[in-house]
Amino acid sequence: MNNLLQGKKGIIFGALNDKSIAWQVALKCHEQGAQIVLTNAPVAMRMGEINELSTICNAQVIPCDVSKNEDMDNLIDKSMEILGGKIDFILHSVGMSMNMRKGNDYLNLDYKFMHDTIDISAMSFHRLLASCYKKDAINEWGSVVALTYIAAQRVFPHYSEMAEAKSLLESVARSFGYHYGKTKKVRINTISQSPTKTTAGSGVKGFGDFFDYAAALSPLGNADAEQCAEYCALMFSDFSRMVTMQNLFHDGGFNNTGFSPDVFEIAKNPE
Ligand SMILES: NC(=O)c1ccc[n+]([C@@H]2O[C@H](COP(=O)([O-])OP(=O)(O)OC[C@H]3O[C@@H](n4cnc5c(N)ncnc54)[C@H](O)[C@@H]3O)[C@@H](O)[C@H]2O)c1
């Protein structure tokens, strides 16, 4: 499949290193003919790896801390300047749990940290959409996708406060999706991805175990970052034009599977 995104212009948040899902999405969008702008938090950029991606994708990088209104407004203005007009697609691939980072478990949350977690991981999606809406920055039939995890629907104890953040993120996609769809025909969805070996993913306690468990339970196995990038490209393309306000599972069938003998094998023979 070629040139699925020919002539389209997009913004991609959250490429930290080549393990990041956003990194793979940027490569895929570039390969499919899109022109993109990359963004990440100023502190993440200091690591410098994003410059390598920007060279490959011929994309400019604009710093944006997603918890700051002024950064978000500046990003949208600058992106339209660089891309020469309105935007066709956006990937929100941002997540951060301050309590997890500080080693606080779910029964001992610090609420200032929890506030920051929810602001960065979920309210930022509203902030992004509101800034775009105010500036009329997205073309009709444009597509915005945020990445989420099934802990929004079911309990994964070590996912902690990020479960609450993802519930809010998915709710924003539905609520804003209604308003943006009604007035400007812009569509908004979340993609609920399999456990994926990235910096954020590996920060969750017991990640290796539930990566293996999910792989064993899912009839197709876990979806990897590159496969997620392919699904994102499809969602940014005109081939998914009537899909909006959905939480789309990209997980090899995990969400609809109750039991698999492969899981039983793991339970019987733990390493
Ligand atoms: N890895 C998984 O298992 C998995 C599964 C489902 C969903 N997701 C989601 O995918 C998304 C991308 O995560 P990833 O797994 O690629 O990990 P990642 O660590 O590569 O990406 C997370 C990104 O968030 C950025 N970020 C954090 N705070 C920010 C801020 N204040 N402003 C701007 N950017 C900020 C980081 O710099 C980083 O680039 C996240 O929303 C995550 O929750 C991940």
Query: Given a cut of 70, is residue 96 above it in pLDDT?
Result: yes
How far is ligand 1, taken at its centre, from the CA of residue 261, in Å? 32
> Is the pTM of the predicted complex or chain greater than 0.75?
yes
Alpha helices in the chain (DSSP H): 21-31, 42-45, 49-57, 69-83, 98-101, 111-118, 124-135, 162-184, 199-202, 207-217, 225-236, 261-268
Name the pLDDT band for 190 (thresholds 50, 70, 90): very high
In a domain, 71, yes or no: yes
pLDDT at 237: 98
In a domain, 100, yes or no: yes
Higher pLDDT, 203 or 185: 185
CATH of the domain at 114: 3.40.50.720
Across the chain, mean pLDDT equals 96
Query: Given a cut of 90, is residue 87 above it in pLDDT?
Result: yes
In a domain, 36, yes or no: yes
State the pairing for strand pair 60-63/9-13.
unpaired
d(CA 134, CA 97): 29
Query: Given a cut of 80, is residue 270 above it in pLDDT?
Result: no
Name the pLDDT band for 114 (thresholds 50, 70, 90): very high
- Structural domain boundaries, residue 26: 9-268
pLDDT at 1: 65
Number of compact structural domains in the chain: 1
For a pocket test of ligand 1, which of 64, 93, 168 has the largest count of ligand atoms closer than 8 A to its C-beta? 93
For a pocket test of ligand 1, which of 65, 69, 198 has the largest count of ligand atoms closer than 8 A to its C-beta? 198
In a domain, 3, yes or no: no
d(CA 67, CA 213): 34
Higher pLDDT, 100 or 209: 100
Q: Is 44 in the pocket of ligand 1 (CB under 6 A)?
A: yes
In a domain, 1, yes or no: no
The answer to whether 176 touches 244, Cβ cutoff 8 Å, is no
As a whole number, mean pLDDT of residues 190-198 equals 97
In a domain, 47, yes or no: yes
In a domain, 159, yes or no: yes
- The string of pLDDT tens digits covering residues 212-246 is 999 999 999 999 999 999 999 999 999 999 999 99
In a domain, 183, yes or no: yes
pLDDT at 271: 65
pLDDT at 45: 86
Q: Is 202 in the pocket of ligand 1 (CB under 6 A)?
A: no
